[in-house]
Amino acid sequence: MISNVTYSENVLLCYPLRLDSCPKVHRLIVVKVAMYIFMVLMILTTVFGNLVIIISISHFKHLQSPTHLIVRSLAACDCLLGSLVMPYSMVRSVEGCWYLGDFVCKVHSSLDLTFCISSILHLSLISIDSPAYQSLSGADEMISNETDIYSENVHLCYPHLPESCPRAHRLTVVKVAMYVFMVLMILTTVFGNLLIIISISHFRHLQSPTHMIVQSLAACDCLLGSLVMPYSMG
């Protein structure tokens, strides 16, 4: 009796008037502020980073290949995930409680699951479409470049290979800015998804079926950021 009373006094519930309420997570204010700052940066990077991808592919005609159009669709999905799902997940992860009611909880879980499955399907389509498109576009480029590939104004990636792609001309300042931005994107992708994986694995109240799918998606994105994105950056 005494141990149960002392335990109930020490445990703060999300909803004190409900006996079936989840216990509230105890964190220092400094830890909460640090978590909020990190997650807000993650959300802003997700939203505006994907907006840059959408605008770039929509603006530059040479990027409008079938693979890049799928990438643009994936960026739109991730942008919606960052703007409609991640802010509410941030509050729930930091506070340890859900204060927005049952209806918003159901809508949030549905959007979370929908966007995560959509991202996985997009990644599958990209992995299937990319080799096929490269083999077809390589043959088209060889035919179309036969007449003007030797012009003086065109610099090739491999000058001794006639079928080599033309090299892009960029100022050094633009290259440095692109490298800095892409390195930040890679680091955010890798360590951000690692934080998601560790958080879901560590906290038991986050180990729901939806969060397990999110953890699997985070593992996939972490591998994408560490094994694919550094080479795509070059």
CB contact at 8 A, 77 and 102: no
| Weakest mean pLDDT among 20-34, 78-92, 140-154, 186-200 | 140-154
Q: Mean of the per-residue pLDDT values for the chain?
A: 76
Rounded mean pLDDT of 18-23? 74
pTM of structure: 0.54
Residues in the chain: 234
Most confident of 25-29, 88-92, 150-154: 88-92
Average pLDDT estimate for 129-138: 50
More confidently predicted of 17 and 71 = 71
Q: Which residue shows structure tokens 């007449």?
A: 147
Q: What residues contact 115, with CB distance under 8 A and at least 6 apart? A: 77, 78, 80, 81, 84, 85
- Let me know: does 125 contact 74? Beta carbons within 8 Å: no
Burial of 101 (0-12, 13-18, 19+ CB in 10 A): exposed
Give the per-residue pLDDT at 46.
87
Query: Residue 139: pLDDT above 60?
Result: no
Task: Band the pLDDT of 109: cuts 50, 70, 90.
Answer: confident
Cβ–Cβ under 8 Å, residues 210 and 112: yes
